[in-house]
């Protein structure tokens, strides 16, 4: 066999691309800098099973993910279950699952509710993101959803997710986000998916399939240099050695790729460097009783160190985890934020402290364990005209292709959308990807010519 396709990064995108290439008969090597492959799919043991470091669920329209699950023989482990949402605003917890809850939402007057509902429906069902990259989401919401709804709902949500970047997020991104959520609803009820045993089941099955196809997976292979010969990428150096290939596919964050190309291609490195990332921290609590009956609670009041409380065991029953109740306290952060470097014990204490303001019955002794997981590259900062920053999958360096998180835009980062990006970049590389269905995902539409 000839020189392999070398894939840089062993997250969902890299592993899916490896599968598509290997099933087509190509030799493949996957290089992953961490001790284990999987990227943001990492899990930890709890109550006799495993749980994700960062909360995950699927949508009913995630056709690409359901394809991969079927390919790996796991369809019987996929469950779609009802899920509830709520908003904490003006000191109260309010259900927020559909039109009836909107009509009962005390912080908004009836005219404000009508404007909020109509504008959200328009974005999720009819708006074309391609024509709305120049308009900041907050400016659009103030004009069309109204000041009351924007100040009560949209501004707090955007600020807790994007921090200082909130004013730069285009309404195009919100169109992708709302389309995703509305497509998962039937008659106002939302059903979300989860795999019995966690995403570790998917990861283990995919890794086993890759190895059966002859894919070499090298962990602890942190990239240190890229060897360009006569302008072409010929080899990469890592902490696990040097690897030569016929072609290379980078799926790592562009913020890590750019410095490696600075000397050989400063122009391209600068273009990649314009893509900013923000981080995420999840404090995962084990409790001996639930905090509430809501799965996903958005916190829209100021003064909280987290933007969401995701009670996983209000979605997947506590019996799955030996009777434990599990909740994520989630927060995105810019990388100059103290959260980026604070000790994890301090983060856990900061996150737990205000819980009694949300749930008056809560007592600190109900927490039996707290774990903190943090990543500096949770998502890209999708600012105005972000499509102009999305790099081409076919890079200006011969033999080097790129399938990065930026290619998810204008959709939201998810396991399904990572699979879609992998399929699109493989298509650009000339591989047969006809078997991968295209669902409702807006990912992989930019840079894949």
Q: Could you read off the pLDDT of 398-446 as tens digits, one per residue?
A: 999 999 999 999 999 999 999 999 999 999 999 999 999 999 899 999 9
Give the separation between CA 44 and CA 38, rounded to whole angstroms.
13
CB 224 within 8 A of CB 238: yes
CA-CA distance, 33 to 222, in Å (whole number)?
4
pTM: 0.95
pLDDT at 100 exceeding the cut of 70: yes
Q: What is the mean pLDDT of residues 120-144?
A: 93
Task: Quote the CA–CA distance of 430 and 425 in Å, as a whole number.
Answer: 9
Strand segments, DSSP code E, in 312-419 are: 325-333, 367-380, 400-402
Any idea which residue has 């840079």 for tokens?
A: 447
pLDDT at 55 over 90: yes
* pLDDT over 90, % of the chain: 90
* Residue 333 Cα to chain centre, angstroms: 14
What's the token pair of residue 261?
């190309």
Average pLDDT, the chain: 94
At residue 163, does pLDDT exceed 90? no
According to the model, what pLDDT value does residue 186 have? 54
Question: Region 74-101: what's the mean pLDDT?
Answer: 95
Q: Tell me what the mean pLDDT of segment 128-134 comes to.
A: 90
The pLDDT score that the predictor gives to residue 159 is 86
Residue ranges of alpha helices (H) inside 184-295 are 199-212, 254-260, 266-273
Region 74-94 average pLDDT: 96
| pLDDT tens by residue, 358-374 | 999 999 999 999 999 99
- Give the ranges where 150-293 is alpha helix by DSSP (H): 155-162, 171-183, 199-212, 254-260, 266-273
Mean pLDDT, range 188-193, rounded to an integer:
80
Q: What is the mean pLDDT of residues 27-53?
A: 96
Helix, strand, coil share of the chain (percent; to 5):
40, 25, 35
pLDDT at residue 185, rounded to an integer: 55
Pair of tokens at residue 302: 């100021």
Instruction: Specify the pLDDT at position 178.
Output: 87
Q: What is the pLDDT of residue 176?
A: 83
Position 183 pLDDT exceeds 90: no
> What is the mean pLDDT of the segment spanning 223-227?
96
Residue 250's pLDDT band (cuts 50, 70, 90): very high
How, if at all, do strands 78-83 and 85-89 pair? unpaired
Average pLDDT, integer, range 160-185: 82
For the segment 22-43, the average pLDDT, to the nearest whole number, is 96
Is the per-residue pLDDT at 184 higher than 60? no
Residue 120 structure tokens: 């959200």
Q: Of 247, 262, 293, 290, which Cα lies nearest the Cα of 398?
A: 247
CB contact set of 338 (below 8 Å; sequence gap of 6+): none
Tell me: pLDDT of 335 over 90.
Answer: no
């Amino acid at each position: 066999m000839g020189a392999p396709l070398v894939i840089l990064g062993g997250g969902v995108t890299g592993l899916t691309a490896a599968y598509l290439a290997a099933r087509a008969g190509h030799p493949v090597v996957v290089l992953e800098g961490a001790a284990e492959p999987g990227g943001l799919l990492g899990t930890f043991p709890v109550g006799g099973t495993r749980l994700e470091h960062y909360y995950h669920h699927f949508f009913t329209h995630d056709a690409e993910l359901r394809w991969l699950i079927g390919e790996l023989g796991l369809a019987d482990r996929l469950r779609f279950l009802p899920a509830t949402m709520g908003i904490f605003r003006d000191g109260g917890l309010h259900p927020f699952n559909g039109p009836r809850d909107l009509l009962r939402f005390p912080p908004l007057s009836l005219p404000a509710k009508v404007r909020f509902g109509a504008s959200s429906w328009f974005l999720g069902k009819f708006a074309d993101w391609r024509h709305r990259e120049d308009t900041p989401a907050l400016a659009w919401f103030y004009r069309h959803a109204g000041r009351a709804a924007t100040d009560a709902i949209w501004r707090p949500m955007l600020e807790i997710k994007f921090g200082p970047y909130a004013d730069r997020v285009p309404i195009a991104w919100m169109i992708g986000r709302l389309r995703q959520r509305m497509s998962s609803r039937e008659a106002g009820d939302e059903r979300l998916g989860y795999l019995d045993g966690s995403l570790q089941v998917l990861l283990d099955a995919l890794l086993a399939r890759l190895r059966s196809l002859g894919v070499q997976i090298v962990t602890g292979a942190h990239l240190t240099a890229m060897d360009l010969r006569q302008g072409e990428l010929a080899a990469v150096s890592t902490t696990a050695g040097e690897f030569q290939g016929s072609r290379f596919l980078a799926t790592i964050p562009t913020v890590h790729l750019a410095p490696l190309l600075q000397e050989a291609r400063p122009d391209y490195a600068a273009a990649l460097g314009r893509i900013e990332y923000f981080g995420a921290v999840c404090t995962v609590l084990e409790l001996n009783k639930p905090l509430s009956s809501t799965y996903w609670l958005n916190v829209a009041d100021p003064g909280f160190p987290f933007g969401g409380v995701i009670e996983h065991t209000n979605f997947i029953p506590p019996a799955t985890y030996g009777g434990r109740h599990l909740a994520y306290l989630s927060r995105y952060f810019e990388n100059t934020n103290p959260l980026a470097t604070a000790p994890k014990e301090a983060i856990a204490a900061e996150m737990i402290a205000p819980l009694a303001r949300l749930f008056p019955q809560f007592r600190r002794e109900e927490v039996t364990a707290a774990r903190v997981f943090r990543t500096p590259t949770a998502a890209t900062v999708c600012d105005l005209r972000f499509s102009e920053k999305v790099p081409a999958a076919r890079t200006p360096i011969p033999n080097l292709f790129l399938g990065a998180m930026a290619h998810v835009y204008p959709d939201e980062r998810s396991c399904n959308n990572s699979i879609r990006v992998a399929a699109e970049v493989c298509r650009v590389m000339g591989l047969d990807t006809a078997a991968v269905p295209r669902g409702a995902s807006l990912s992989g539409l930019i840079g894949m010519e």
